[in-house]
Structure 1
Amino acid sequence: MAPRGRPTRTTRSRPVTATPPPVTTTPPPVTDPTTTTSVTSAQLQAMIDEGVNAVLAARAATRNGDDSHTSGTGARRNERTVRECTYQDFMKCQPVFFRGTEEVVNLTQWFERMETVFRISNCTVENQVKFATCTLMGTV
């Protein structure tokens, strides 16, 4: 009987040797239906362009020819009319006032802020000069 608490060990009298797999001289037949081919970047770009053009042509064929004012359900969307920006609309966007004593950096920031206000308020080009002039402060 083996003593308690100790596992029993068995040893083999001769070493086990692994047999190497047989060496074949011919490669196995390819069963994968996909093959890899090298494609140049010009060929790849041509394939991408062809696919994009096909998608755009299919989309153009399904459009109704009404400049895409439909929501896809057959119901026509109402085109929003843009009203002209008034001085009150411009002032609601809180333009920055320029006093003329600031440095070049502040002048550049004033230009950028004014362009943003013009975009937000849908200010026409004709009104931009008039409205921006009203934000200039200081004595001449």
Structure 2
Amino acid sequence: MPPKRNLNTGMSAAQIEEMVTQRVAEAVANTEAGRAANAANERRPEVANVQQRCNYKAFMGCKPQSFSGTKGPVGLIRWLEKLESVFKISECTGNDRVKFASCTLLDGDLTWWNSFAKSVGIDVAYNTPWEEFKKLMINEYCPRNEIQRLETELWNLKLQGMDISGYTNRFLELALMCPTMVTPEYKRVERYIWGLSENI
């Protein structure tokens, strides 16, 4: 009895099986070659890291905001958020983040940074982990008494007239600075609704 042929392809089951086996073997070979290349790059970290490091020109090309500390805690949080966005776009690694971020400081904030760098050494300052740098900035520019003032403002925030946009923007700013007052999500919704006028 002749081998059965597939009506759609005109190939026998044996031919299809041979073709599938060949394609699987090719895919396995390609995967193994890729693994070998990755392993070689891992053994030579300088090759792998060349592609991942961003440079100052690429960072500045993303137009990061400067920070002078004049807009209070909300300004600080917005600056940190913008920097993190720029880090993602410019593919800036953790090693360069603090170094590049410190170049966006102005006025008294630059003086604060220079004082910090002088006390610990510039190399140590530049190698501060990003999360630690953020904590230093928050401790410096968001003292507890300022956070308490913002919490009180959030607690008493109410819609003035019909400026829903202004109310919503200020609510979001305060919620960002006072997360414990609006977590979990239902608290955020309740607090937002509480500040609206009755007719809304």
Please indicate the TM-score interval, normalised by the length of the shorter structure: 0.3 to 0.5
Structure ranking higher in helix proportion? 2
Tell me the TM-score normalized by structure 1: 0.43
TM-score (structure 2 length as normaliser): 0.31
Which structure is higher in RCO with an 8 Å CA cutoff and minimum separation 6?
A: 1
